[in-house]
């Protein structure tokens, strides 16, 4: 049976294929019980035939169906039909994040943070249910028309990885797996956070951090190599976002963000323009020969903060230090490789040079800030009024200056929304603390809802975007032309805040029902065949070929709308023959009798002269209509003529 006519589980009518993946094909389908459009993912035969996969698939699909989040694609149902396993999911309009990055290239840093925050929202719900996704990648993230995202395939990756094949499926998608997943170790929440870091890296730069000729080589790079800092691939990536991404991608899970909620708070702060306190990522360099053998040493956060990639060096830094750091990163150097022989003296010189630069910088900072140089704790003045903040800082021995005020939805106008250096950290007494004051929430702007009824979905989105509104599309069957909007959630001309989500409903066209063949069925059989979605009326007629009580004909046939009335004609059997009185025309002329008898419905045969006198008549009286009557005649005589 063609896919377009196939019904899974006696309920889900497959319409058309909308996508293919490494383990399944996805179809748009109609849930015939709840009368709604759904997406049905049908597992490929090599998975369906594996007993281990089947058992884990059942367990994981049930768990995924229990996850409820605005950022998770809803799983409605799952089952097995014959040899086919399938999952029924929420049907969405949109595109996957991988396709979006391919089309548009690197995304705006704030958009990267927004996407990352929403993925964290999905992961937070799953992790609290003790479900690790295991396959976070852009292909599993759907971008909706309103710009929000939904994460797909929760729990399915674990079932997939139970099916070990020779094509490295056990590795998952190598470009996004964590080092511990590559090693086959137990996975926790931090494994998904590593994969999310890779996704944000790709969104921010337009490319994955590690690539290779095959899955094995890419996976080994995940374990052994440090990523090139995103800002060296795309200079538009600022240091704060870079630190967030690289902290997610730390090789040691203990050095990453430990929970999705923790990462989400940092991303939300970054997206809102607030300062984020994320340490510089760990940098591992090989020890020079003769200095501690072949062990590795980790440069401290403070040291690393002084050695930034080329082009970002601050005042007072030398060119040599940054160039060295950039060069090592750009080569993709294996952080665990031992240095080549003969390079020990060079590396030692570089390390000593870096120490001299750091010492000089500290000395310069001490003299620049003035004062005694004694380190004191900076008061935390976030949410203080301007006057309260100045009093607290000046009493602690600090000077105060102000940066540009910013809008903030959470901090009241005139209060401190950010400070540098941060509160509760040490700084030289007499140094300057820079404060940022809140201008309060961004002023609310209002706009009118446009008329999008009758428009296509693309036209509706364009009109809503022009009005600074967001659209949320739903699909339903309707009398309106397929693909056009037939209803909108807010009335045309209604005044709403800019950014408001306007729901609208797009027609998939009217649903139709195929009228079954009723010819020859009894009345009871015809009623049963029509079911409860079609109406019917009955009439009757004679038929010489259809038995009495059976259907002669019906209309309309073919595909009709639900509720259509089918007009059915039942047979009364053959039409009964009528009795007619045939007069006796003996002694009358045949030319007179023949037309009289024929007008009464009889067939007349004249045996003799056509204008002769009738001497005998084969039948008369009450006869069946259509009976043949023979008239025997003889020629007229003179006596007959006189009569």
Residue partners of 213: CB distance under 8 A and separation at least 6: none
Is residue 455 a contact partner of residue 492, using CB atoms and an 8 Å limit? no
Query: Was 341 annotated as part of a binding site?
Result: no
Among candidate residues 171, 161, 216, 214, the one with its CA nearest the CA of residue 195: 171
Among candidate residues 83, 82, 67, 89, the one with its CA nearest the CA of residue 19: 89
SS (HEC) of 151-210: ECCCCHHHHHCCCCCCCCHHHCCCCCCCHHHHCCCCCCHHHHHHHHHHHHHHHHHCCCCC
Distance, in Å, from the CA atom of 611 to the CA atom of 379, rounded to the nearest integer, reads 139
Does 541 participate in catalysis according to the annotation?
A: no
Tokens of 202: 């790709």
DSSP letters for 412-434: -TTBEEEEESPTTSEEETT-EEE
What angle in degrees, to the nearest 10, is found between the helix axes of 239-248 and 260-271? 170
Among candidate residues 241, 162, 248, the one with its CA nearest the CA of residue 205: 241
Among candidate residues 431, 390, 384, the one with its CA nearest the CA of residue 412: 384
Burial 263-301 (b: 16+ CB within 10 A, else e): bbebbbbbbbebebebebbbbebbbbbeeeeeeeeebee
Q: Which of 50, 77, 96, 135 is catalytic?
A: 135
Distance, in Å, from the CA atom of 553 to the CA atom of 570, rounded to the nearest integer, reads 7
Distance, in Å, from the CA atom of 200 to the CA atom of 245, rounded to the nearest integer, reads 7
H or E element in which residue 485 lies: strand 485-488
SS (HEC) of 386-399: HHHHHHHHHHCCCE
* For residue 556, cis peptide bond before it (omega within 30 degrees of 0): yes
* For residue 421, cis peptide bond before it (omega within 30 degrees of 0): yes
Name the CA dihedral angle for 101, 105, 109, 113, rounded to a multiple of 10 degrees. 0
H helix runs in 451-541, sequence order: 457-466, 523-530
Residues annotated catalytic, as ranges: 135
Q: Which residues are annotated as part of the binding site for ATP? A: 41
């Amino acid at each position: 049976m063609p896919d377009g006519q196939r019904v899974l589980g006696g309920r889900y009518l497959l319409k058309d294929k909308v996508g293919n993946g490494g383990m399944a094909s996805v179809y748009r389908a109609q849930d015939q019980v709840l009368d709604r459009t759904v997406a049905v993912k049908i597992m490929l035969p090599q998975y369906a035939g594996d007993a281990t996969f089947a058992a884990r698939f059942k367990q994981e699909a049930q768990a995924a169906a229990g996850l409820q989040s605005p950022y998770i694609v809803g799983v409605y149902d799952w089952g097995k039909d014959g040899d086919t396993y399938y999952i029924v999911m929420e049907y969405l309009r949109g595109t996957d994040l991988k396709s979006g990055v391919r089309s548009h290239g690197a995304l705006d840093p704030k958009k990267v943070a927004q996407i990352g925050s929403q993925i964290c929202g999905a992961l937070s719900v799953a992790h609290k249910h003790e479900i690790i996704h295991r396959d976070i990648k852009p292909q599993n993230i759907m971008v909706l028309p309103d710009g929000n995202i939904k994460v797909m395939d929760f729990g399915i990756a674990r079932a997939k990885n139970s099916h070990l094949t020779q094509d490295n499926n056990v590795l998952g998608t190598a470009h996004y797996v964590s080092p511990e997943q590559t090693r086959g170790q137990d996975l926790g929440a931090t494994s998904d956070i590593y994969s999310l870091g890779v996704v944000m890296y790709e969104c921010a730069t337009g490319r994955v951090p590690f690539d290779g000729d095959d899955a094995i080589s890419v996976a080994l790079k995940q374990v052994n190599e440090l990523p090139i800092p995103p800002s060296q691939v795309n200079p538009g990536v600022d240091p704060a976002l870079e630190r967030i991404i690289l902290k997610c991608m730390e090789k040691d899970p203990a050095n990453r963000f430990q929970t999705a909620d923790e990462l989400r708070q940092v991303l939300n702060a970054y997206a809102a323009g607030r300062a984020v306190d994320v340490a510089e990522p760990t940098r591992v360099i090989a020890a020079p020969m003769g200095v501690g053998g072949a062990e590795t040493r980790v440069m401290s956060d403070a040291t690393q903060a002084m050695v930034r990639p080329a082009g970002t060096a601050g005042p007072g830094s030398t060119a040599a230090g940054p160039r060295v750091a950039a060069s090592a990163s750009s080569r993709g150097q294996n952080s665990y490789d031992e240095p080549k022989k003969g390079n020990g003296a060079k590396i030692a010189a570089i390390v000593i040079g870096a120490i001299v630069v750091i010492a000089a910088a500290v000395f310069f900072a001490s003299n620049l800030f003035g004062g005694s140089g004694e380190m004191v704790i900076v008061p935390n003045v976030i949410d203080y009024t301007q006057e309260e903040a100045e009093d607290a800082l000046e009493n602690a021995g600090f000077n105060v200056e102000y940066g540009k005020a910013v809008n903030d939805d959470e901090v009241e106008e005139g209060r401190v929304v950010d400070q540098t250096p941060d509160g509760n950290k040490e700084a030289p007494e007499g140094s300057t603390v820079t404060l940022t004051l809140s201008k309060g929430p961004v002023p609310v702007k209002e706009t009118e809802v446009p008329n999008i009824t009758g428009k296509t979905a693309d036209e509706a989105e364009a009109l809503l975007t022009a009005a600074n509104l967001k659209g949320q599309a739903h699909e339903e069957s309707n009398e309106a032309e397929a693909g056009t909007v037939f209803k909108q959630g807010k009335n045309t001309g209604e005044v709403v805040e800019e950014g408001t989500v306007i729901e609208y409903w797009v027609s998939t066209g009217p649903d139709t029902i195929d009228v079954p063949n009723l010819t020859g069925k009894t009345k009871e059989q015809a009623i049963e065949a029509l079911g409860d979605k079609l109406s019917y009326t009955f009439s009757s007629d004679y038929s010489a070929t259809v038995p009495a009580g059976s259907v002669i004909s019906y209309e309309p046939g073919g595909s009709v709308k639900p509720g259509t009335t089918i007009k059915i004609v039942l047979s009364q059997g053959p039409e009964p023959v009528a009795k007619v009185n045939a007069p006796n025309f003996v002694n009358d002329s045949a030319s007179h009798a023949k037309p009289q008898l024929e007008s009464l419905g009889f067939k007349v045969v004249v045996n003799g002269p056509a204008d002769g006198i009738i001497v005998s008549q084969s039948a008369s009286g009450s006869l069946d209509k259509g009976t043949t009557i023979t008239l025997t005649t003889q020629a007229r005589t003179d006596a007959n003529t006189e009569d």
